[in-house]
Amino acid sequence: MELSIVKIGGNIIDDESKLASFLDAFAAVKGKKILVHGGGKLATKVAEGLGIKQQMIDGRRITDAETLKIVTMVYAGTINKHIVAHLQARGCNAMGLTGADGNAILAHKRVHPTIDYGYVGDVDAVDASLLTSLLMLDKTLVFAPITHDRKGQLLNTNADTIAQEIARALCSTFDTSLIYSFEKSGVLLNAEDDSSVISRIDPVYYTRLKEQQVIFAGMIPKLDNAFAAVKSGVKKVIIGRAEQLPLLLEGAAGTTIVHA
């Protein structure tokens, strides 16, 4: 049975009309499906409105206790329920979840030798049995990027990682495709030219692209995540523009990551 897991980021969430088009396309996808959404600018806006300062250390945003409250409100409340209600309006029986709900995604607070990231979670386990049961009830799952440690602590968690961990947990049960949508048409040979999409990358080509510094900075963790997923048995990982979702699923747009 086919399962499509789609991750959307802030660039779609922040743009009401882009989000509406994406939800049209996502609602029309056949088979079982899971949407994982990131944050977007609303959390920053709400934090500013409430006079909560973003704590930055070495250019990284730190999830302190106040920031965690904001992201829980905005991600699990505003954004998640907005998406669920709008998928329901499109005839897609969506159900919103965080990792705390049903203990779907268990995590621990990140431990780092020098940086205290605050309430940031690294994933330990996905309850594949629960997610399979919900999918078999014909629900489309919509995950907010929040997990918990089962000790009462909610944790801010990277949405790319959540999508990948869910894909790895479910790929032995479903023919799983993982789609990372972002603001470009795919992985580009020339970062300045959106038409220079690399249609297919395997591990050997990936090493070469990194050596040539065609791929750098923020793309590296994204692609590392993608390769980890295909290595674990995810059928394919596709990176591309959310607005092109139907084409991405057909393999007619974006970059497909394959395992050797």
Site string for a second copy, 61-100 (x = CB under 8 A): --------x--xxxxxxx-xxx-xxx-xx---xxxxxx-x
Binding residues among 174-193 for a second copy as defined by CB under 8 A = none
CA terminus-to-terminus distance, the chain: 24
Nearer to a second copy, 6 or 97 (CB): 97
Local structure of residue 119 (DSSP, 8 states) = S
Local structure of residue 182 (DSSP, 8 states) = E
- Of 138, 222, 220, nearest in space to 178 by CA: 222
Nearer to a second copy, 30 or 151 (CB): 151
Q: How far is CA 120 from the centre of its chain?
A: 15
Least CB distance to a second copy at residue 21 (A): 14
- Tokens matching residue 162: 């959540």
For residue 18, state whether it binds a second copy (rule: CB under 8 A): no
Local structure of residue 76 (DSSP, 8 states) = I
Among 21, 44, 103, 196, binds a second copy (CB under 8 A): 103
Among 5, 29, 105, 146, binds a second copy (CB under 8 A): 146
What type of residue sits at position 119? Y
**What DSSP string describes 15-38?**
-HHHHHHHHHHHHH--SEEEEEE-
What type of residue sits at position 84? V
For residue 101, state whether it binds a second copy (rule: CB under 8 A): yes
- Tokens matching residue 129: 């049995």
How many angstroms separate the Cα of 74 from the Cα of each of 64, 92, 142, 178? 15, 22, 14, 25
Nearer to a second copy, 27 or 191 (CB): 27
Among 1, 28, 50, 57, binds a second copy (CB under 8 A): 50
Nearer to a second copy, 155 or 179 (CB): 155
Pairing mode of beta strands 60-62, 55-57: antiparallel
For residue 25, state whether it binds a second copy (rule: CB under 8 A): no
Least CB distance to a second copy at residue 85 (A): 5
Least CB distance to a second copy at residue 101 (A): 5
Nearer to a second copy, 94 or 234 (CB): 94
Taking the alpha carbons of 122, 94, 66, 103 in that order, is the dihedral positive or negative?
negative
Nearer to a second copy, 118 or 186 (CB): 118
CB-based contacts of 122, cutoff 8 Å, min separation 6: 107, 108, 110, 157, 161
Stretch that binds a second copy, among 144-152, 156-164, 210-218, 236-244 (CB under 8 A): 144-152
Least CB distance to a second copy at residue 78 (A): 5
- Of 169, 173, 159, nearest in space to 222 by CA: 159
Nearer to a second copy, 137 or 204 (CB): 137
**Which positions touch a second copy (CB under 8 A)?**
46, 49-51, 69, 72-78, 80-82, 84-86, 88-89, 93-98, 100-103, 130, 133, 137, 139, 146, 148, 150-154
